[in-house]
Amino acid sequence: MPPKSIASLRVLSNLRPPPILPSPVMGMLIFVIAEMMMFAGLMSAFSIVKAGALGWPPPGQPRLPVEATAFNTAALLASAVFLFVANSRYARNPDLAKRPLFIAMGLGAFFVAFQGYEWISLIRQGLTLTSSNHGSFFYLIVGMHGLHAMAGLATLGVVALKLSRGRLAPSSFVASQVFWYFVVGLWPVLYFMVYL
Amino acid sequence: MARALFHGVSVIRMKFALVVMISMAIWLVPKLASACAVCFTGRADETRTAFIATTGLLTALPILLIGSLIWWLRRRAHRMRDEHD
């Protein structure tokens, strides 16, 4: 016999087992897998062109700032650590998660700003999108990662806003973390391939 | 009008010209193919290694990623079922 009252529907819905994974987290995981494949394609093309070149970087092209970017990489990795701390604090008391979350966002913003500063100096030195294959791949791969970092920061911004208003769903927080960990975890691979 | 353009042209010559054009295309295409974007420096070994490595990566990565996700979801589902029971 079908249930007729809202109360009986509520009872039935409570009997349903919880989902294996919340929808926002599942959706984000699938999106991250798709993004990983996109970056794998870019890195493959870069590897083939680099292997075929007689010298890398090509003669006449500026060298990339390896040491400064290593420092920037450390800042990005630290942002992931602070986000992890924010998550563990959120489970105990959501208010305690605010400070590490803002620090993580600040470090992420520093990374993006530093990348922008680096780009300006490289463009001044003559490394542009059309100057060589080196420039094309550098701006394409690093720029694509920078776009993802900005999207991740925007997502964390929304999370911070909801957290301060006390309306943050745990699944949304986890989904934004998945994306940020992807952005952070991908960067050392790109740094190793493009800069070293 | 279009029919009039072909008036007087020998059909046999047209067929001959067609055969010559196709033959030339077959003859020239391999030369064009050998002038691909990755054969420009003569570093064939390095390029071949990069091709093999990236082919392996692009073949294995989606299987690995999706397989890992399915494996992890199954494991999580089993654990949740055990806790529920």
- Which CATH number belongs to the domain containing residue A76 in this structure? 1.20.120.80
Q: Do A40 and B57 touch (CB under 8 A)?
A: yes
Tokens 């690995």 identify what position?
A: B64
Chain A residues touching chain B at CB-CB below 8 Å:
17-18, 20-21, 29-30, 33, 36-37, 40-41, 43-44, 47-48, 50-54
Are A111 and A79 spatial neighbours (Cβ–Cβ below 8 Å)?
Answer: yes
Q: Which residue has the higher pLDDT, B24 or A147?
A: A147
Residues of chain B in contact with residue A51, where contact means CB-CB under 8 angstroms, are 43, 46-47, 49-50
Whether A61 is in a domain gets the answer no
Does B26 share its domain with B49? no
**How many domains would you assign to chain A?**
1
Whether A60 is in a domain gets the answer no
Residue A1 has pLDDT above 50, yes or no: no
What pLDDT shows up at residue B4?
A: 58
ipTM of the complex: 0.76
- Per-range mean pLDDT, top range of A5-14, A45-54, A71-80: A71-80
Which H or E run includes A88?
Answer: helix A66-92
The interaxial angle of helices A23-52 and B44-84, nearest 10 deg, is 170
Does B47 share its domain with B31? no
| Structure tokens that stand for A152 in this block | 């991740």
Q: Which of residues 10-29 of B touch A (CB under 8 A)?
A: none
What percent of chain A lies above the pLDDT cut of 70? 92
Residues of chain A in contact with residue B46, where contact means CB-CB under 8 angstroms, are 51-52
Are A97 and A177 spatial neighbours (Cβ–Cβ below 8 Å)?
Answer: no
| Confidence category of residue A42, pLDDT binned at 50, 70, 90 | very high
Does B57 share its domain with B83? yes
Give the minimum alpha-carbon distance from B83 to chain A in angstroms, rounded to a whole number: 11
CA distances B2 to B6, B7, B15, B39, Å, are 7, 9, 18, 45
| Confidence category of residue A61, pLDDT binned at 50, 70, 90 | confident
Whether A44 is in a domain gets the answer no
**How many domains would you assign to chain B?**
2
Whether A24 is in a domain gets the answer no
Which residue range(s) make up the domain with A144? 71-196
Does B22 share its domain with B56? no
The two counts, helices (H) then strands (E), for chain A are 6, 0
Whether A144 is in a domain gets the answer yes
Which residue range(s) make up the domain with B66? 43-85
Whether A103 is in a domain gets the answer yes
Q: ∠ CA(A172), CA(A173), CA(A174), 5° rounding?
A: 90
Are A156 and A177 spatial neighbours (Cβ–Cβ below 8 Å)?
Answer: no
Residues of chain A in contact with residue B57, where contact means CB-CB under 8 angstroms, are 40, 43-44
Q: Which residue has the higher pLDDT, B3 or A114?
A: A114
Of A42-56, A97-111, A112-126, the poorest mean pLDDT is in: A42-56
Q: Which residue has the higher pLDDT, B6 or A152?
A: A152
Q: What is the mean pLDDT of chain B?
A: 79
A11-14: long-range pairs with CB below 8 Å, 24+? none
Q: Looking at residues A144-148, what average pLDDT do you find?
A: 96
Does B28 share its domain with B58? no
What pLDDT shows up at residue B8?
A: 61
- Cα A11 to its chain centre, rounded Å, is 40
Does B48 share its domain with B85? yes
Q: Residues A154-171: pLDDT tens digits?
A: 999 999 999 999 899 999
Q: Which residue has the higher pLDDT, B35 or A155?
A: A155
Separation of alpha carbons A183 and B29, rounded Å? 44
Mutate to test the interface with B, among A33, A42, A43, A46 (most CBs of B within 10 A): A33
Q: Which of residues 37-76 of B touch A (CB under 8 A)?
A: 38, 40-41, 43, 46-47, 49-51, 53-54, 57-58, 61-62, 65-66, 69, 73, 76
